[in-house]
Amino acid sequence: MIIQSLGLGAIKIKNQGQIILIDPATDDIYSKKWRLKPDILLVSRVNQPIKNIIGDPFIIQSPGEYQKNDILIYGIQTTSKQDQSVIPYYLEIEEMNILHLGAIKDMLTEKQINELGDIDVLFVPVGGNFVLDDEKAAKIIAEIEPEIVVPIYYQIPGLQQKLNSIDQFCEEMGIKKRSIDKLVVKKKDLNKEETKIIILKAG
């Protein structure tokens, strides 16, 4: 499984020839820079417009349980008043469990976290303002205890909406900022010894 960031919360996952696209950017600074032909498209904001998508992907934009080929997908119903229109997504891909929290602003409930079970890869917003800030992100990471954490939704050049920088999250977590172009994840490499934080460059 190969994971890349396309800016803000937009994540591209390639697995066995299939492309899964989560939260495609609607901000012009990024949405005009790429056009993709995903097999599966997950949108965490209800009624969010979809731009620059080619082909006829399997689109999910509401809570519920779905299956496309060998991939299981669960759209999670949020209970917070601030997050009623936001849908986190849980995916099972090649025996790996992935959770993309989308643009949530409040914490998941203890019940929701317990129902998710073990998470291998967690995409968590960290920029504050209209999403979780670094402190809440750190708290939810501690509660979920994923194998890998990929921060999303933080300040990037040219973004009109104000978010905190990734530096603030790195300081909160006590790590040095290092970023990579893509993340390759294999089930056999997961060991649960410690949580790794991976910062992906926006492609």
Q: What is the pLDDT of residue 122?
A: 97
Q: What is the pLDDT of residue 156?
A: 83
Q: What is the pLDDT of residue 34?
A: 59
d(CA 164, CA 138): 14
How far is the CA of 6 from the CAs of 19, 36, 153, in angstroms?
13, 11, 11
Sheet containing 121-125: order of strands: 64-68, 71-75, 89-93, 96-100, 121-125, 148-152, 196-197
Among 47, 51, 59, 122, which Cα is nearest to 85's?
47
Q: What is the pLDDT of residue 79?
A: 77
Q: What is the pLDDT of residue 25?
A: 66
Pinpoint the alpha helices (H) of the chain.
Answer: 28-31, 110-116, 134-144, 166-173
Kindly give the parts of the chain with pLDDT less than 70.
25-35, 203
**Over the stretch 25-72, which tens digit does the pLDDT of each residue have?**
655 555 555 567 899 999 988 777 777 788 889 999 999 999 998 999
pTM for the full predicted model: 0.93
Where along the chain do its domains lie?
A: 61-200
Q: What is the pLDDT of residue 26?
A: 59
Q: What is the pLDDT of residue 197?
A: 95
Q: What is the pLDDT of residue 72?
A: 96
Q: What is the pLDDT of residue 168?
A: 94
- Residue 53: CB atoms within 10 A of its CB come to 16
Among 2, 8, 3, 1, which Cα is nearest to 202's?
8
Domain range 61-200, CATH class: alpha beta
